[in-house]
């Protein structure tokens, strides 16, 4: 099967940038070898009939549904119900995976966590004692239990934000160990945000990876981290992230899921999608 997907947001932005219709951009994506989309639940819920009709006409499916939640609050019931509806919708539309971005800490809490995030045991002590993180854990457990009814896999990703307690390797590992059934969507470019080694992260998280976002990063002269050389958008294979090595390692481990094109902020989404699809097609066939 073709295993290349792309964020629907990129398709909508490409249409706005180029003046083409959504349908025409989707048609072009199919010609590039893209067979599915990653789509936000909120967008899908608002325009389900129109979006699904356009996807069907272009012959594209939905590889994953995602959204942002506030599961760290003391009263997350409405957010959990919204996540349940996302699971139901994903099941109805044939998407086998969802991605939940469960919330954030305040700046003071985030700074405390950042100070100890380089060590798993110290990270675990902080996560175990933080009320917002514990609320996220409890809510994610409920969502994963509900997902079993639909045969849906719930995932988290390495998020590129300072206040999210799942932007670093040890934080993510803690969630995987503490939420039964939770899996991991590898975002190849987001460990650059926390200046961590994506290849090291893959080794630590290899037993949990079920989905891949192929995000490359452009070099920026003002950035001087050990692993972070810039946070700019780049077509896959054109930046400094070791995309070829990442893809090969995933294939060597028997990964047979989607490789999702992601480059938010691209100046020319259509051209970036074309270049990314060409690179991924070559990498997967090679």
**CATH assignment at residue 203:** 3.20.20.150
Q: Report percent pLDDT > 90 for the chain.
A: 97
Q: Looking at residue 250, what is its pLDDT?
A: 97
| Tens digit of each residue's pLDDT (9 = 90 or more) over 67-105 | 999 999 999 999 999 999 999 999 999 999 999 999 999
Band (238; pLDDT cuts 50, 70, 90): very high
| Tens digit of each residue's pLDDT (9 = 90 or more) over 144-201 | 999 999 999 999 999 999 999 999 999 999 999 999 999 999 999 999 999 999 999 9
Give the pairing of strands 216-218 and 232-234: antiparallel
Q: Looking at residue 56, what is its pLDDT?
A: 98
Centroid of chain to Cα 37: 12
Give DSSP secondary structure letters for the chain: ---EEEEHHHHHHHHHHH---HHHHHHHHHHHT--EEEEEHHHHHHTHHHHHHHHHHHT-EEEEEEEE--TTSS--HHHHHHHHHHHHHHHHTT--EEEEE-----HHHHHHHHHHTTSHHHHHHHHHH-HHHHHHHHHHHHHHHHHHHHTPEEEEE----TT-TTSSHHHHHHHHHHSTT-EEEEETTGGGTTT--HHHHHHHHTTTEEEEEE-EEE--TT---SS-S--EEE-TTSSSS-HHHHHHHHHHTT--S-EEE--TT-SSHHHHHHHHHHHHHHHHH-
Q: How many domains does the chain have?
A: 1
On average, the pLDDT of the chain sits at: 97
Q: Looking at residue 268, what is its pLDDT?
A: 98
Q: Looking at residue 224, what is its pLDDT?
A: 78
Q: Looking at residue 221, what is its pLDDT?
A: 81
Q: Looking at residue 223, what is its pLDDT?
A: 79
On the question of pLDDT at 128 being above 90, the answer is yes
| Tens digit of each residue's pLDDT (9 = 90 or more) over 188-228 | 999 999 999 999 999 999 999 999 999 999 999 887 799 99
On the question of pLDDT at 1 being above 60, the answer is no
Range of the domain at 104: 4-285
Q: Looking at residue 222, what is its pLDDT?
A: 83
């Amino acid at each position: 099967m073709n295993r290349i997907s792309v964020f629907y947001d990129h398709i909508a932005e490409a249409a706005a940038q180029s003046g083409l219709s959504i349908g025409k951009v989707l048609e072009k994506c199919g010609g590039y070898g893209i067979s599915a989309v990653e789509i936000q639940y909120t967008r899908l819920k608002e325009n389900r009939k129109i979006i699904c009709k356009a996807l069907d006409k272009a012959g594209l499916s939905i590889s994953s549904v995602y959204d942002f939640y506030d599961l760290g609050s003391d009263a997350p019931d409405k957010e959990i119900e919204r996540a349940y509806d996302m699971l139901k919708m994903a099941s109805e539309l044939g998407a086998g995976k969802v991605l939940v971005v469960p919330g954030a800490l305040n700046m003071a809490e985030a700074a405390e966590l950042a100070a100890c995030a380089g060590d798993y045991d110290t990270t675990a002590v902080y996560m175990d004692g933080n009320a917002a993180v514990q609320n996220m854990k409890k809510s994610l457990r409920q969502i994963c239990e509900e997902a079993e009814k639909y045969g849906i896999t719930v995932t988290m990703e390495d998020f590129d934000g300072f206040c999210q307690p799942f932007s670093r390797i040890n934080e993510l590992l803690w969630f995987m160990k503490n939420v039964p059934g939770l899996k991991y969507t590898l975002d190849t470019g987001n460990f650059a945000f926390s200046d961590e080694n994506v290849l090291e992260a893959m080794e630590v998280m290899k037993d949990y990876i079920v989905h891949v976002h192929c995000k490359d990063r452009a070099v920026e002269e003002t950035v001087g981290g050990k692993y972070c050389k810039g946070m700019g958008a780049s077509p896959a294979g054109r930046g400094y992230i070791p995309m070829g090595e990442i893809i090969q390692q995933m294939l060597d481990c028997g990964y047979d899921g989607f490789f999702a094109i992601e480059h938010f902020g691209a100046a020319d989404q259509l051209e970036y999608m074309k270049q990314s699809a060409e690179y991924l097609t070559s990498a997967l066939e090679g």
